[in-house]
């Protein structure tokens, strides 16, 4: 049984904690939050895990096989480097880092310590999006030429995550990062991008509406668009809608988790809505299911000495696109 420790017991950690209970071969034996009340609450929910309010103390006193860091980005580098010093494999939530330097430093620290590092980039682990990827990989729609990856809603994200309201870098850092990762996942590496940002909601500090056009190495283009201020009914949060057009056909992931594959004279449809995990609830079930899937992948990688799909090194390419998107929006030029 691999023994895990959690650092950060806030809003999203409840999903991690509940999901770990479904993973064979892993048990959370310690939880830590600098807010002792949050740490105690997580410990009570986590089947007798030991409780800490200081990550250094937890790592010094527990023999852990991995840590799962569920704090916001500014604390990631010191916490990942702490785990690397203790030679403990690390999962780190997204956004991986507030700067590319920090992201590279964490990858280097773990490489030098010889410990695996995975970024909790869970959108790739949503089963409806994996179904889209499988169709692209199968060749059924031919060679992809165009993709649109879209996430537009007006769900109140600020009640659960109040820190987002004051973030000067809001939507690209928080959500665009997932969608840029999906663009890489579906179409391969991006070579160039153009980005336009808008701040539509006057009550938030950062951009809340973003349009990004990407060129991919194989010649395909993708359009990644997302908004936190799109008023519509039914509100599709938190669904990612996808359309990928290839040389033989088109795959669409439509609202309501309808997967449609079609070409000249043929079409088929499938309901790909994920089940609601025992600990979960709609509309969060697709995100909650992906947390279980990525945690299972991490444990399989640790057990079999394999590199996680969303390793720190892989995520450098995604976070690089994030910073290039901000640069393009600021300069008005391609990056
Ligand atoms: P939160 O502020 O509710 O919780 C973070 C917790 O970490 C807080 O309780 C804080 O006290 C604690 N903390 C911070 N620094 C610490 C340190 N050095 N040592 C110990 N504890 C520390 O934040 P949240 O909403 O749970 O988000 C956490 C991260 O998860 C963010 O980066 C967010 O973007 C990400 N997130 C990811 C998803 C997803 O689907 N992948 C969804 C929601 C949030
Ligand atoms: O924090 C996040 O990853 C968010 C969401 C809750 C939609 O996943 O973007």
Which pLDDT belongs to residue 251? 98
CA of 269 to the centre of ligand 1 (A): 38
Asked if the peptide bond before residue 234 counts as cis, ω within 30 degrees of 0, the response is yes
Write out the chain's pLDDT in tens, 335 residues: 999 999 999 999 999 999 999 999 999 999 999 999 999 999 987 678 999 999 999 999 999 999 999 999 999 999 999 999 999 999 999 999 999 999 999 999 999 999 999 999 999 999 999 999 999 999 999 999 999 999 999 999 999 999 999 999 999 999 999 999 999 999 999 999 999 999 999 999 999 999 999 999 999 999 999 999 999 999 999 999 999 999 999 999 999 999 999 999 999 999 999 999 999 999 999 999 999 999 999 999 999 999 999 999 999 999 999 999 999 999 999 99
In ligand 2, which atom is closest to the CA atom of 94? Answer: 3
Whether ligand 2 lies within 6 angstroms of the CB of 174 is answered as: yes
In ligand 2, which atom is closest to the CA atom of 161? Answer: 1
7: number of Cβ within 10 Å: 30
124-280+316-331 shares the fold of 2-115: no
Which pLDDT belongs to residue 256? 97
Q: In what order do the strands lie in the sheet with 209-216?
A: 190-198, 209-216, 221-227, 144-152, 241-246, 250-254, 258-263, 266-271
CA of 314 to the centre of ligand 2 (A): 20
Whether ligand 1 lies within 6 angstroms of the CB of 326 is answered as: no
Contact 87, 113 (CB under 8 A): yes
Which pLDDT belongs to residue 310? 98
Whether ligand 1 lies within 6 angstroms of the CB of 177 is answered as: no
The sign of the torsion formed by the CA atoms of 79, 81, 83, 89 equals: positive
Whether ligand 2 lies within 6 angstroms of the CB of 70 is answered as: no
Whether ligand 1 lies within 6 angstroms of the CB of 33 is answered as: yes
Report the residue among 175, 177, 204 best suited for mutation to probe ligand 2: largest number of ligand atoms under 8 A from its CB: 175
Whether ligand 1 lies within 6 angstroms of the CB of 52 is answered as: no
Whether ligand 2 lies within 6 angstroms of the CB of 274 is answered as: no
Ligand at shortest distance from the CA of 163: 1
Atom 4 (ligand 2) nearest CA: 175
DSSP label at residue 209 = E
Which pLDDT belongs to residue 183? 98
Contact 205, 176 (CB under 8 A): no
The strand pair at 2-7 and 66-69 is best described as: parallel
CA of 74 to the centre of ligand 1 (A): 10
Distance CA 125, CA 20 (A): 15
Which pLDDT belongs to residue 47? 72
What separation, in Å, do the N-terminal and C-terminal C-alpha atoms of the chain show?
46
In ligand 1, which atom is closest to the CA atom of 39? Answer: 9
Whether ligand 1 lies within 6 angstroms of the CB of 71 is answered as: yes
Ligand at shortest distance from the CA of 156: 2
Atom 14 (ligand 1) nearest CA: 71
Is residue 213 classed as helix, strand or coil in its secondary structure? strand
CATH code for the structural domain at 2-115: 3.40.50.720
Which pLDDT belongs to residue 119? 98
Q: What is the reported pTM? A: 0.97
CATH code for the structural domain at 124-280+316-331: 3.30.360.10
- The domain ranges of the chain are 2-115, 124-280+316-331
Contact 150, 226 (CB under 8 A): yes
Contact 180, 224 (CB under 8 A): yes
DSSP label at residue 311 = B
Whether ligand 2 lies within 6 angstroms of the CB of 5 is answered as: no
Residues with Cβ within 8 Å of 251's Cβ and at least 6 positions away in sequence, in order, are 132, 135, 136, 140, 141, 242, 243, 244, 259, 260, 261
């Amino acid at each position: 049984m691999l023994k895990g420790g959690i650092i950060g017991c806030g809003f999203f950690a409840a999903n991690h904690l509940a999901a770990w209970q479904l993973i064979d071969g892993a048990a959370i034996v310690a939880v830590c939050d600098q807010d002792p009340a949050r740490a105690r609450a997580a410990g009570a929910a986590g089947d007798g895990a030991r409780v800490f309010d200081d990550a250094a103390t937890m790592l010094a006193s527990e023999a852990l096989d991995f840590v799962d860091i569920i704090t916001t980005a500014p604390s990631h580098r010191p916490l990942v480097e702490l785990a690397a010093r203790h030679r403990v494999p690390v999962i780190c939530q997204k956004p991986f880092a507030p700067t590319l330097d920090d992201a590279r430093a964490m990858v280097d620290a773990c490489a030098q310590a010889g410990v695996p590092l995975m970024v909790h980039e869970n959108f790739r682990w949503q089963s409806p999006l994996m179904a889209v990827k499988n169709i692209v990989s199968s060749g059924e729609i031919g060679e992809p030429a165009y993709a649109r990856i879209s996430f537009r809603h007006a769900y109140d994200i600020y009640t659960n995550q109040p820190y987002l309201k004051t973030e000067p870098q809001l939507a690209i850092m928080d959500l665009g990062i997932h969608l840029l990762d999906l663009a890489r996942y579906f179409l391969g590496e991006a070579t160039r991008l153009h980005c336009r940002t808008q701040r539509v909601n006057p009550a938030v500090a950062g951009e809340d509406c973003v349009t990004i056009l990407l060129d991919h190495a194989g010649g395909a283009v993708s359009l990644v668009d997302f908004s936190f201020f799109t008023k519509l009914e039914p509100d599709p949060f938190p669904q990612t809608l996808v359309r990928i057009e290839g040389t033989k056909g088109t795959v669409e992931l439509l609202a309501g988790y309808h997967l449609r594959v079609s070409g000249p004279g043929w079409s088929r449809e499938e309901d790909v809505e994920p089940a609601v995990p025992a600990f979960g609830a709609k509309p969060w079930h697709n995100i909650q299911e992906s947390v279980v899937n990525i945690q299972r992948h991490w444990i399989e990688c640790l057990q079999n000495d394999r590199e996680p799909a969303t390793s720190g090194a892989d995520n450098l390419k995604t976070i690089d696109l994030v910073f290039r998107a901000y640069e393009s929006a600021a300069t008005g030029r391609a990056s």
